[in-house]
Amino acid sequence: EVIGDTDKTGTITHFVPDPEIFKETTVYDYDLLSNRVRELAFLTKGVNITIEDKREGQERKNEYHYEGGIKSYVEYLNRSKEVVHEEPIYIEGEKDGITVEVALQYNDSYTSNIYSFTNNINTYEGGTHEAGFKTGLTRVINDYARRKGIFKENDPNLSGDDVREGLTAIISIKHPDPQFEGQTKTKLGNSEARTITDTLFSSALETFLLENPDSARKIVEKGLMAARARMAAKKARELTRRKSALEISNLPGKLADCSSKDPSISELYIVEGDSAGGSAKQGRDRHFQAILPLRGKILNVEKARLDKILSNNEVRSMITAHGTGIGED
């Protein structure tokens, strides 16, 4: 039934949570909802989305609009980080009815942040589209480095972890018939999504690297630094492989070890300089107290990479003396 004229269109949906079903809470978390609305605005470039809280005493309103889409999303995620290349890499393509969008940018951190979406659903467990992206990224960067002579003939390829260190990436695909693993829709299972994502992304990334040699070299060098750190971590594990917790062989030369082999009572005192080490040795109980003299102010390990840390003799002495492993090892 026509009841009049209007220049407004749209749909209004009312939702009231049932406390019999939502046991934990029926109170809306504005910040949580606002973050999701912002995410949707990034994923749907050019769209205006407004969220408003009209609850008494909590009134607030946010409007989100991003012309850059997921490219702006990557810039937002990297806003407080030092980036390796100024402009995020943006790739878009379509094949067999499946649209693929990828945006990525490297920063100076040592971790990766990869977020994947299917039809704007956050597939935080990954899936075939994310696997295709990772495969393509590793292959293209290694191929580029070899073609340009950055790798020597006998140099091993960078691993997937190497090329993803410091990476922030958004993968967003639109699929007409998505198949998810499980009921929560957090992992995509379509096999064709892997092939199509890999193909479209790899081709565009290869073109970008060839057309932007400065950015390409920075990306490869970032991966090489990660590879060196990985090899240093391997050496760290070798440093700490001792037959028992208090084995004497391979211990640092300046360590005055204790005679006890019981780690529950043994103590290690680290002192600054050989003179302090001599005094400490005179006052210790040889049965359970060990002394390790070290040079002072050796290295700020908070700001150094693992490969540089492990090249320091004083640090190596501590690792070997402790015999407990380092980092995740």
Q: What mean pLDDT value characterizes the chain? A: 89
Residue 190 has what pLDDT? 96
| Residue matched to tokens 């942040």 | 113
| C-alpha to C-alpha distances, 324 to 168, 220, 237, 299, nearest whole angstrom | 33, 33, 10, 20
pLDDT of 1: 82
Query: Going along 4-88, which residue ranges are E strands?
Result: 49-53, 60-64
The ranges assigned to domains in the chain are 11-67, 70-231, 244-322
Maximum C-alpha span of the chain: 101
How far apart are alpha carbons 118 and 266 in whole angstroms?
Answer: 56
Q: What is the mean pLDDT of residues 175-197?
A: 93
Task: Please give the Cα distance from 145 to 22 (Å, whole number).
Answer: 53
pLDDT at position 248 is 44
Local confidence band at 243 (pLDDT 50, 70, 90 cut-offs): very low
CA distance 293 to 273: 5
CATH class given for the domain over 70-231: alpha beta
Distance of CA 204 to the CA centre of its chain: 23
pLDDT digits 0-9 by tens, 92-104: 999 999 999 999 9
pLDDT tens readout for residues 111-162 = 999 999 999 999 999 999 999 999 999 999 999 999 999 988 888 999 999 9
Confidence band for 8, pLDDT divided at 50, 70 and 90: confident
CA–CA gap between residue 222 and residue 175 (Å, rounded): 33
Strand 167-174 versus strand 98-106 pairing type: antiparallel
Contact partners, residue 168, CB within 8 Å, separation at least 6: 74, 77, 78, 81, 104, 105, 106, 107, 112, 113, 114
The reply to whether CATH 3.40.190.10 applies to domain 244-322 is no
* HSE-CB of 204 using CA atoms within 13 angstroms: 18
pLDDT at 236 over 50: yes
- In 96-166 the beta strands, taken as DSSP E runs, fall at 98-106, 113-118, 121-122
pLDDT in tens, 245-285: 444 445 666 888 898 888 899 999 988 887 777 888 888 99
